[in-house]
Each structure stands twice: as C-alpha cells, then as structure tokens.
Amino acid sequence: MSTIACLVNNVGMGLPTALFAGEVNSPNEESIRKIIDCNILSTVMMTSIILPKMLTQKGPNPGIINIASYAGLKVFPYATVYASTKASIIHFSKCLAAEKYKKNVIIQAICPLFVSTKMSNSMKTTFFIPTAEVFAKSALDMFGVEQRTSGYIRHDLKAYLYDLLPTSVRMLIIKAIANSSRKKV
C-alpha cells in the first residue's frame, strides 16, 4: 500500500421504527449490539487501522469521511439507537479533527437527511431526496470545505427549514414519518 488518499466510513444500519422499549418490535440486546458494532465500532476500527499510514504520508492531504446522519444532530424519536450511534460518529469526527488539525489530515462528518438507498427502502427521489449517486457526487464536492456538512445543498435547505420549526412541530413530523415507515414494514 503506497498511499491512501481517502477513507470513507459509510456504514449504517437501523431497526424498524419503534419505541425504544415496550413494543413487540422494540430492539433486543443482540440487535442493539449489531447496530453499535456496525455504526460505531466499524468506523472507529477502520480509522484506527488506516490513520497511522495517513499520518506518515507525504503529498496531498489525505482525508477521512465519516457518514453520520441528520438524525445524529437532533432528537429523533422511534430511531433512538440509530440516532444515538450517528451522534457518536459526529462527535468522534469532531474529536479526531481536534487531534489531527496540525497533521494535515482532513476529517469530515457528513450528516445527510434522506437519500434513496436500499436502507431507506429505495424511497422515491424528490427535490429533497436524491439518488445515492447524486448524493455521493455532491458530498465529494464538499470534501475539505467544512468539517461537518449535510453533503447536499438541498439537505442544508431542508435542515434549515426544520430548524425554524418549534421542536414540538418537528417531533410531530418525525413521528408521522416513523408511523409511515412502520406501516411499510
């Protein structure tokens, strides 16, 4: 392995939307561990494997892109474990960037909203929901621009609009989305 330009930690899994406890499809210990292992442990471990090589490289600044989620930035009922793991990735990225700021390694957390992927049951693309390909191109264009980004300008707009809403209204919207998802499962 001569040089590594970029590590993209793009992992994520969630559960069917449900209350954290008290429902038939609430997460059990095994499913909680799987989500933590996938969403947090794999990102931390891959970074610990690749970063030492990046720190010894000469040439252009290498980078680490950690895919988090808008859900990790806000209270996100019915996706408690998923949102919490993505919040961990955002914080991990901030801490790592603070450690490596003089080492010329770019650390970036990308916090998208919905993207049409297999994980989102290939939801219909709209003005605010891009295909995975469109999102990936947009996110890569943002590489090194901001330490935390949504990766997609339309997601920035939607997040801005969400943030204008009172928390109680935002919770109603999130609960409606969760209930809609639950009906599809």
- Listing DSSP states for 111-126 in one string gives -----BSTTTTTPPP-
Residue 96 near residue 63 (C-beta atoms within 8 A): no
Instruction: Output 185 or 91, whichever has higher pLDDT.
Output: 91
Instruction: Give the per-residue pLDDT at 184.
Output: 59
**Catalytic: 82?**
yes
Q: Look-up: residue for tokens 């916090």?
A: 111
Between β-strands 106-110 and 63-67, what pairing exists: parallel, antiparallel or unpaired? parallel
Asked whether residue 110 is domain-assigned, the answer is yes
Residue 1 inside a domain? The answer is: no
> What is the rounded average pLDDT of the residues 95-119?
89
* Residue 59 counted as domain residue: yes
Q: Is residue 157 part of a domain?
A: yes
Catalytic residue selected from 70, 82, 101, 152: 82
Number of domains in the chain: 1
- Distance in angstroms (rounded) separating the CA atoms of residues 15 and 161: 27
Q: What CATH number does residue 50 fall under?
A: 3.40.50.720
Beta bridge partners of 7: 64
70, part of any domain:
yes
**Residue 107 pLDDT > 90:** yes
Look at the block and give the residue holding tokens 């994980």.
119
pLDDT band at 185 (very low <50, low <70, confident <90, very high): low
| Contact predicate 151/138, CB 8 Å | yes
| pLDDT confidence of residue 111 | 97
Is 118's pLDDT higher than 90?
no
Do you know the residue count of the chain? 185
Q: What domain range includes position 45?
A: 6-184
| pLDDT at residue 175, as a whole number | 85
Decide if pLDDT at 148 tops 90.
yes
Beta 6-9 vs 63-67: how paired, if at all? parallel
User: How many C-beta atoms surround the C-beta of residue 39 within 10 A?
Assistant: 25
Output the pLDDT for position 21: 66
Residue 159 belongs to some domain of the structure: yes
User: For 89-115, what is the mean pLDDT?
Assistant: 92
Residue 15 lies in a domain: yes
40 found inside a domain: yes
20 by Cβ neighbours in 10 Å (0-12 / 13-18 / 19+) ranks as middle
